[in-house]
Chains A and B, each alone.
Chain A
Amino acid sequence: QQPVQSPQAVILREGEDAVINCSSSKALYSVHWYRQKHGEAPVFLMILLKGGEQKGHEKISASFNEKKQQSSLYLTASQLSYSGTYFCGTEEKSNQFYFGTGTSLTVIP
């Protein structure tokens, strides 16, 4: 079941923060986050394996709420290089894997 991401699109000025949400109707084993720049392949950002787990990489972090079957990606002090489409990927307990609907993020000077 394809997870739903919100918002669909967001425009930020450099230095602003953003939150991208990913919500599934199924019980999840793990959540992955990827970023895809225009004309390129998706690139892995991070994976969260346990409910309650939080991970971070520089100014990009994520959390996984297993009970609510959702994950959030946090981008702080955004940079121009953060622009792209962000996808969550959810691995269901049935071993099925689906990418989310995508969130287009544009950072402007």
Chain B
Amino acid sequence: DTAVSQTPKYLVTQMGNDKSIKCEQNLGHDTMYWYKQDSKKFLKIMFSYNNKELIINETVPNRFSPKSPDKAHLNLHINSLELGDSAVYFCASSQGPREAFFGQGTRLTVV
């Protein structure tokens, strides 16, 4: 059983489109995250949700909107995609300040 799963694994889309990435965890964790990893491999936290409530909302464009229908799911919706949004997006979950389990990543390419 996959602990943290995100879909799709690859996403190629044109500038200006709207897309979503889905994430689900079956670990019973309270906290879920979205990270962005750019071409230089820098990992940057975007959002953190604890029990469906937004805890961290780093300075990301408001074109990015997280949605947490329940504590096992944290989806990421991106409006009006731009070239600079191309990156690998990782979903992760943890139970408090413990180890985070990462999904396999979604490689987003905006053309």
Contact of A41 among B42, B55, B99, B104 (CB under 8 A): B104
**What residues of chain B lie closer than 8 Å to A95, measured between beta carbons?**
55
Name the residue in A2, A29, A36 with the highest tally of chain B Cβ atoms < 10 Å from its Cβ.
A36
A102→B42 CA distance, assembly (Å): 7
Query: How many A residues are at the interface, by size bracket?
Result: 20 to 34
Please classify the interface of chain A as helix (H, G, I), strand (E, B), loop, or mixed, using the class held by over half of its residues: strand
B66 interface residue per 8 A CB criterion: no
A19-27, A42-50, A60-68: which lies at the B interface? A42-50
Instruction: Report yes or no: A42 in contact with B90, Cβ–Cβ below 8 A.
Output: yes
Instruction: Report yes or no: B45 in contact with A99, Cβ–Cβ below 8 A.
Output: yes
Taking A42-B43, A99-B43 as contacts, is the C-beta distance between A47 and B97 under 8 angstroms?
A: yes
Q: Taking beta carbons and an 8 Å cutoff, which residues of B are in contact with A? A: 35, 41-45, 48, 55-56, 90, 97-105
Can you name 15 A-B pairs with beta carbons within 8 Å? A2-B42, A29-B97, A40-B105, A41-B102, A42-B102, A44-B99, A44-B101, A47-B98, A47-B99, A97-B45, A97-B56, A99-B42, A99-B43, A99-B44, A102-B43
